[in-house]
């Protein structure tokens, strides 16, 4: 496959891995607060990122490229509030969206149709990822710091289903 795209997808593998690490750190923060639902939701989020990572990993190999793993940055361990966690989640997802959009653009510029089609799934996924974070921020804003409201959201987030990996993962 095209060397430039191969390098960018390798970088994306590291970004997805870091995303997983970041969300796992957020899960640990929630766990320390006894918020079991928020913890479960973030652990699932972390698992989803590992699915993304594996999809890119598999794709590079399928196209005859070479996966080169880089080191993963240390994620933040402490957060100011529950709301702060989801604001950081949204900001992080926006960065990932920009990164995926760039991959998509490069694939089009070099007329790599297989990559463009492969990347379409991630474009759609990022819409969902940003929406999920934003929905929780909106609900947290509604209840403000009310403990009963937080426990209600905690209960609801605890019922998030396990992620289903697409065939490519
Ligand atoms: Fe992702
Ligand atoms: Fe994500």
Domains in the chain with CATH codes: 3-157 (1.20.1260.10)
Tokens of 163: 């992620």
Q: Which ligand is nearest the CA of 49, by number?
A: 1
Centre of ligand 1 to C-alpha 125, Å, is 8
Radius of gyration, alpha carbons of the chain: 17
Q: How far is the CA of 148 from the centre of ligand 1 (A)?
A: 32
Q: CA–CA separation, 31 vs 29, rounded Å?
A: 5
Protein residues with C-beta less than 5 angstroms from the ion ligand 2: 129
pLDDT at 169: 65
Question: Using CB atoms within 10 A of its CB, is residue 63 exposed (0-12), middle (13-18) or buried (19+)?
Answer: middle
pLDDT string in tens for the chain (169-residue length): 999 999 999 999 999 999 999 999 999 999 999 999 999 999 999 999 999 999 999 999 999 999 999 999 999 999 999 999 999 999 999 999 999 999 999 999 999 999 999 999 999 999 999 999 999 999 999 999 899 999 999 999 999 998 888 866 6
Whether 12 contacts 99, CB under 8 Å: yes
Residue 46 CA to ligand 1 centre (angstroms)? 9
* Residue 109: predicted pLDDT: 98
| 158/7 Cα distance (integer angstroms) | 37
Q: 22 CA distance to ligand 1 centroid (A)?
A: 11
Ligand (nearest to CA of 132): 2
CA distances from 84 to 21, 100, 108, 128 (A): 17, 24, 36, 20
- Write the pLDDT tens digit of every residue in 101-130: 999 999 999 999 999 999 999 999 999 999
The predicted pLDDT at position 168 comes to 62
- 106 CA from centroid of ligand 1 (Å): 19
**16 alpha carbon, closest ligand:** 1
Can you read off the two tokens belonging to residue 49? Answer: 């990122």
């Amino acid at each position: 496959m095209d060397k430039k795209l191969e390098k960018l997808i390798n970088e994306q593998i590291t970004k997805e891995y870091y995303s997983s690490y970041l969300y796992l750190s957020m899960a640990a923060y929630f766990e320390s607060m006894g918020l079991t639902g928020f913890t479960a939701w973030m652990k699932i989020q972390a698992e989803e990122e590992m699915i993304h990572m594996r999809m890119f990993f598999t794709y590079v190999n399928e196209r005859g490229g070479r996966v080169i793993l880089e080191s993963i940055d240390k994620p933040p361990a402490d957060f100011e509030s529950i709301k702060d966690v989801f604001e950081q989640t949204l900001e992080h997802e926006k960065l990932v969206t920009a990164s995926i959009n760039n991959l998509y653009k490069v694939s089009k510029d070099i007329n790599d149709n297989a990559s463009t089609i492969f990347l379409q799934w991630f474009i759609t996924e990022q819409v969902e990822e940003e929406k999920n974070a934003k929905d929780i921020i909106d609900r947290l804003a509604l209840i403000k710091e009310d403990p009963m409201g937080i426990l209600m959201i905690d209960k609801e987030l605890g019922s998030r289903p396990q992620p289903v990996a697409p065939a490519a993962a």
